[in-house]
A and B are shown apart, each in its own frame.
Chain A
Amino acid sequence: MKFKSQKIAYWFFAAAMLLLVLQVVYGFIMGFAHMGYDGLHEIIPFNTARAVHTNLLVFWLLLGFMGAAHYIIPEEADRELYWPKLAPIQLITFLLVGVTALVGYHVNWWEGRKFLEIPRPLDYLVVINVLMFVVNIGMTIWKGNRFTTTSIVLYMGLLFAALLYLPGMIAFDNQTMDSFYRWWVVHLWVEGVWELIMGGMLCFLLIKLTGIDREVLEKWLYIIVGLTFLSGILGTGHHYYYIGTPSYWLWIGGIFSALEPLAFLGMAIYAFVIVKKGKRNHPNRIALSWTLGSAIISFVGAGFLGLAHTLPQVNLWTHGTLVTAMHGHLAFWGAYAMINLAMIAYAMPLLTGRKLWDAKSAGIAYWCSNIGMIAMTAAFAVAGITQVNLERRMGLDFLAVQEEIQVHFFGLILAASLFSVGIGAFIYNFWMHGLPNDEALDPSSSL
């Protein structure tokens, strides 16, 4: 690391790791409930577990993005953070708001709108908090010694993500309009501006890990994020097929979401070509594996599996079934979890000065978590497709079908156990790096 203030990234990453563990725990609660073992029903009913599981995902990914921004932006702008003291305050308050929301979900305090369950009063605190973050990072770029495309793309992603939180706070009495604007947040985040964040992080990692000329990388970054918006904005239409909005969304959503995999395909090809051309033999091979893995798994999970059920003719049957969970798991893992883990794997040795990239735990983490997640996706796929056929196409009763597919949740839990071993190893590796320290400062480093 080059600047002292980059050290704060460590604490964002550490908080993210802690929340990731909790997310996995709540995932198990849900998996067991699906299998019929719902012993926690009285304390943690399924809707609580579900809200906690998905909100923790968003929560730790955002912490990861924030940590990445605190690491990347000073380096790209070539200066210390503008307000180094604001960063820890922002982190702590963000955690307080988030944890309050999560506790609230256990006592029936929530908004009951999928992914945006945070109660309204806390929404305002989130807005204020994210404003602190956006201003601090923005001022660092503004007052920086250099403007780079990477930092601008990353910053635009973060800024738009903050702005797009607002439409989710508009109140409607009409369930259809309520849902319509809920997707402005959820869809335009994950299939829009978050891809800018991902693209920015990917570009930074590739510059550092391959030593390829920034001009070439950043040109392609523009093309890829251009493709993201070209397809992703109108691709929002795939959430508007069957919620009471006009039928033209069927073909608009169908066509543009069919184009959505292009951006992810572009990202995967880009990463591979760049790594192949790479001039630098960066010793942190595991960070490179996470980076490439993210590019490829996001194409499979978000691009390909998304396409598999996004056409209106298919979605009519799969809409609202476990097929969505199948796509959701691999998409979030590949695109956003893995890019965060790539960033952490890259940054930790530089923050702490300990080079644990060849440690056994690093390899176990990579392979177990990835194979585990792919197997989980397969379990969801089998359960989901069976559900679609029995319930949606043959017309069998919901609960009867759920009992038929319980066995696939046993498979899911086995796969999730392997995944958890991987996550455990990653956190062990993280822990063994120790704390960030000034001895790791190296103003002349280009790694």
Chain B
Amino acid sequence: MLTKSQARTFFVGGTVLFSGLFFALTFDTHRKVPDQTNADQITPAVVAGKKIWEENNCMGCHTLFGEGAYYAPELTKTVDRRGEAWLRVFLKDPEAMYPGRRKMVKYDFSEEDLDNIIAFFDWCGKVDLNGFPADPPLRAKMEGVAASSAAPVKLLPSPVPAIMVTAACTGCHSVAGEGGAAGALIGAPPLDGVHATKSRDELRQWISDPQKIKPGTAMPDLVPAVVSEEQLEEILDYLYSNAETKPAA
């Protein structure tokens, strides 16, 4: 059986060997990370955004690259998922967007802060993370189930008006076959058939002040901060462009 000095040699030898390997791999990681992370695109705005991320301990609730706490959403691809316009509205007053839901601290960011935060997230979203976060493998199957059980509705014409993208309507609602990833869960219905269930006036009132009609709803206050009165009419024109043709029963 092993003697004590052999055991010590195993410990010291193993530690030295594996520390050496670890240092070599660290060296190689240093060489490869700039390419993999697009380090040349780390602008002063990205650095400033990272500073805001750290100074407010955003990691104390959120995850980034999957690292942090598990109280608030993973943010690596947030610019892709939500769009810049949505993030700007949200960050100005997080609770207004999700009244009565889980809270985020209101930080009173300046416009420049917002530019920097978004620049940082945008850079993060483009880093090659070896496949993280992965696309949900079961989503396609779920959508198949939902589609086969619902009555077919004639889709609105594509593309959707630009304002519906910048105001991030499609972040929650599906329309013309676009967007709506999270819709069914937070109660945001598809909009293609909305003309059949609500009058144009009702819909105008709803978008103008959702909280008044349904306190606690997740639908954000968009008018007039993000969507002007004229743009609201543009959206309504679009949503009612199918109104003549009755939806298939």
**Inter-subunit contact A244/B127 (CB<8 Å):** yes
**Inter-subunit contact A222/B10 (CB<8 Å):** yes
* B8 sits at the interface (CB 8 A): yes
Complex contacts, B65 vs chain A, CB 8 Å: 175-176, 179, 242-244
* A360 sits at the interface (CB 8 A): no
A138 to B147, CA, bound (A): 70
Q: Restricting to A157-195, which residues have a CB under 8 Å from any CB of B? A: 173-180
* A394 sits at the interface (CB 8 A): yes
Most buried by B among A179, A249, A397: A397
8 Å CB contact of A215 from B4, B11, B21, B26: B4
Interface size class of B (residues with CB under 8 A): 35 or more
Complex contacts, A225 vs chain B, CB 8 Å: 11
* B158 sits at the interface (CB 8 A): no
User: What is the CB-to-nearest-CB distance from B29 to chain A, in angstroms, rounded to a whole number?
Assistant: 5
8 Å CB contact of B37 from A149, A176, A233: A176
* A417 sits at the interface (CB 8 A): no
8 Å CB contact of A320 from B21, B67, B142: B67
* A420 sits at the interface (CB 8 A): no
B52-69 contact mask (Cβ, 8 Å, vs A): 1 or 0: 011111111101111111
* A319 sits at the interface (CB 8 A): yes
- Assess A112 versus B4: contact at CB under 8 Å? Given A244-B127, A245-B33, A395-B142: no
- Assess A234 versus B18: contact at CB under 8 Å? Given A111-B54, A180-B29: yes
* A50 sits at the interface (CB 8 A): yes
**Inter-subunit contact A395/B136 (CB<8 Å):** yes
B116-152 contact mask (Cβ, 8 Å, vs A): 1 or 0: 0000000010011111111111110010000000000
A38 to B26, CA, bound (A): 42
User: What is the CB-to-nearest-CB distance from A382 to chain B, in angstroms, rounded to a whole number?
Assistant: 14
**Inter-subunit contact A46/B71 (CB<8 Å):** yes
* B248 sits at the interface (CB 8 A): no
A223 to B3, CA, bound (A): 11
A38 to B105, CA, bound (A): 12
* B47 sits at the interface (CB 8 A): yes
- Name which of B181-189, B190-198, B208-216, B228-236 contacts chain A: B181-189
Complex contacts, B25 vs chain A, CB 8 Å: 234, 248-249, 252
* A150 sits at the interface (CB 8 A): no
- Assess A113 versus B59: contact at CB under 8 Å? Given A41-B103, A316-B132: yes
- Assess A322 versus B15: contact at CB under 8 Å? Given A175-B65, A219-B7, A241-B130: no
* A144 sits at the interface (CB 8 A): no
Most buried by B among A50, A113, A395: A395
* B244 sits at the interface (CB 8 A): no
Complex contacts, A236 vs chain B, CB 8 Å: 22
User: What is the CB-to-nearest-CB distance from B113 to chain A, in angstroms, rounded to a whole number?
Assistant: 14
**Inter-subunit contact B136/A394 (CB<8 Å):** yes
**Inter-subunit contact B131/A242 (CB<8 Å):** yes
- Name which of A60-68, A90-98, A335-343, A398-406 contacts chain B: A398-406
Complex contacts, B105 vs chain A, CB 8 Å: 41, 45, 47
* B154 sits at the interface (CB 8 A): no
B16-57 contact mask (Cβ, 8 Å, vs A): 1 or 0: 001101100110111011101101001000110010011111
**Inter-subunit contact A110/B57 (CB<8 Å):** yes
**Inter-subunit contact B142/A394 (CB<8 Å):** yes
**Inter-subunit contact B101/A399 (CB<8 Å):** yes
A272 to B70, CA, bound (A): 37
* A11 sits at the interface (CB 8 A): no
* B162 sits at the interface (CB 8 A): no
Complex contacts, B102 vs chain A, CB 8 Å: 33, 36, 38, 399, 402
**Inter-subunit contact B132/A394 (CB<8 Å):** no
**Inter-subunit contact B57/A117 (CB<8 Å):** yes
A371-405 contact mask (Cβ, 8 Å, vs B): 1 or 0: 00000000000000001000111111111111000
* B73 sits at the interface (CB 8 A): yes
8 Å CB contact of B14 from A45, A230, A387, A398: A230
* B98 sits at the interface (CB 8 A): yes
A312 to B39, CA, bound (A): 25
**Inter-subunit contact B132/A112 (CB<8 Å):** no
Mind listing 25 A-B residue pairs with CB under 8 Å? Answer: A41-B103, A46-B71, A46-B72, A47-B58, A112-B53, A112-B55, A112-B59, A114-B59, A114-B68, A114-B69, A218-B4, A219-B7, A226-B10, A234-B21, A240-B29, A241-B130, A241-B132, A242-B130, A244-B37, A244-B65, A325-B70, A392-B133, A395-B138, A399-B102, A402-B102
- 17 more contacts with CB within 8 A, not counting A223-B10, A234-B21, A395-B138, are A41-B105, A45-B105, A50-B71, A176-B33, A176-B36, A176-B127, A178-B50, A180-B26, A219-B7, A225-B11, A229-B14, A230-B14, A233-B21, A234-B25, A243-B65, A244-B128, A394-B142
